[in-house]
Chain A
């Protein structure tokens, strides 16, 4: 426990200045890539709370992202309010939505929960497309702020906040309760865990972080429309990155997001036409060979070496 904590803190202390220095030394293209990467990492970390720790594979997180984006969009484009107000509005929308949807939907388990949340993006897209204040189908154009360095540092700060929240979670009784729910909801209930309440709180916390990332992204990209803001493939990416890195760990989802972002970017520039193919192969190989993610790999590889992969193929259980 303590050595794990020390490793996490060490990674933060060493990694943070390194990442923060990027805009001052790297090319503008690289900074733009960095912003996308950091936002993805924040989203993966947000998903980690409900998907990784609580064990509920949410496909509704892209809705929280979209609501965060629309909060900023509506506040800035329609009411000429400052960015921070929009961020707060998006946060409020997402958290209230998570509460309202969580009450019925978090009663479902496994595939049923995944499918129910999968429908949410469709529903919200249809609703937003018809709301005049949200610009209907056309979308909203936000004021332009041409400072990629600022967006980069803002995204990095957000990722830090998300990671600190998950770090706190991993050490708190609240987090322990979530893990209990993931491992066996009935056993958790017998031990006095109010599973419904904890699940909804986890969903709301996940929604809060995800919506903030959506808000920052909307201001950065300066244009949002329903199809782009509530894109379900974004949710799939969050899950892939979190699972690749190690769901239910503090740094796993961040590592997964950073690594996969870089990989996908390199592939896209080297083998443009068949980048998707290679990316897909990497994902399949990762799921087969290291189903518990990078975090588990780094822990166990030293002890069992290459046998680790063979063992995973043999086990084939998560």
Chain B
């Protein structure tokens, strides 16, 4: 296997006095879909917040060989590490297209911009129909599509998606997961952080199971989905 795109080694982070992540380690390889699953409060979102420097942290994290400790969020973005934050964080009072254009602020050339826009509309045809509509007036599923599309606008190498399926109709989740598979064939790596263990394990190649700030299990997603303990704890089987 080629060198990992993202390596996290012994990551520790927390809020003030309270430590949330304990020596967490994981790898994400190029063009993989990796799921990070776990129940509420396991520290999944904290991990993503730490990776984008919204929280102080210690440890060794590398993206494509660059140490994250010395990179600002905008540098990271420029290097191709992009997040879809929890709760989508769309600009509700702006149109879909304006939202998408905002996904490429870190200095993309204009023709590349057009090309990326067309690519996103190709991935999510519904957004092309809604391009002039205010983002806040769309359904939850469409908003999530818009958020994922916005993250893809900069042509990233790694997209980290936080709780993509939260509050969405199953049909919308399926559509989004299909798109992620498609995006992966175009060479984009995906780190899917999910509470919806079932759908995450369904789409991912590999998965990590998180509990109280630690990785407790890892392996191919299909194996984890068959693991009796995982089934009992997370899938309600």
Contact = CB atoms under 8 A, between A and B. Distances in A.
Interface string B61-101: 00000000000111011100011010001111110001001
B214 interface: no
Contacts of A177: 102, 105
Contacts of A233: none
A189 B52 CA distance: 9
B89 A190 contact: yes
Contacts of B90: 187
A193 interface: yes
B52 A176 contact: no
B117 to A, nearest CB: 14
B89 A186 contact: yes
A191 interface: yes
Contacts, number: 57
Interface in A164-193: 173, 176-177, 179-180, 183-184, 186-193
B100 to A, nearest CB: 11
Interface residues of A, number: 16
B89 A176 contact: no
Interface in B94-118: 94, 98, 101-103, 105-106
B154 interface: yes
Contacts of B52: 189-190
Nearest to A197: B74
A179 B78 CA distance: 20
B91 to A, nearest CB: 4
B92 to A, nearest CB: 7
Contacts of B98: 176
B29 interface: no
Interface in A186-221: 186-194
A115 to B, nearest CB: 25
* Residue of B52, B91, B92 ringed by the most chain A CB atoms within 10 A: B91
Contacts of A180: 91, 102, 105
Given A176-B102, A177-B105, A191-B105, A184 B77 contact: no
Interface residues of B, number: 26
A291 to B, nearest CB: 13
B150 interface: yes
Contacts of B102: 176-177, 180, 188, 191
B189 to A, nearest CB: 18
A186 B91 CA distance: 11
Nearest to B52: A190
Contact of B101 (A176, A187, A193): A176
Contacts of A189: 52, 54, 73
A194 B77 CA distance: 10
B49 to A, nearest CB: 10
B214 to A, nearest CB: 26
Contact of A184 (B82, B83, B91): B91
B73 A190 contact: yes
Nearest to A182: B91
A173 B94 contact: no
A179 B89 contact: no
Interface string B30-74: 000000000000000000000010100000000000000000111
Given A191-B150, A191-B151, A193-B74, 14 more contacts: A176-B102, A176-B105, A179-B91, A179-B94, A180-B91, A183-B91, A183-B93, A184-B91, A186-B85, A189-B52, A189-B54, A192-B74, A194-B72, A194-B74
29 contacts: A176-B101, A176-B102, A176-B105, A177-B105, A179-B91, A179-B94, A180-B105, A183-B91, A183-B93, A183-B94, A184-B91, A186-B54, A186-B85, A187-B85, A187-B90, A188-B105, A189-B52, A189-B73, A190-B52, A190-B83, A191-B105, A191-B150, A191-B151, A192-B74, A192-B77, A192-B78, A192-B154, A193-B106, A194-B72
Interface of B: 52, 54, 72-74, 76-78, 82-83, 85, 89-94, 98, 101-103, 105-106, 150-151, 154
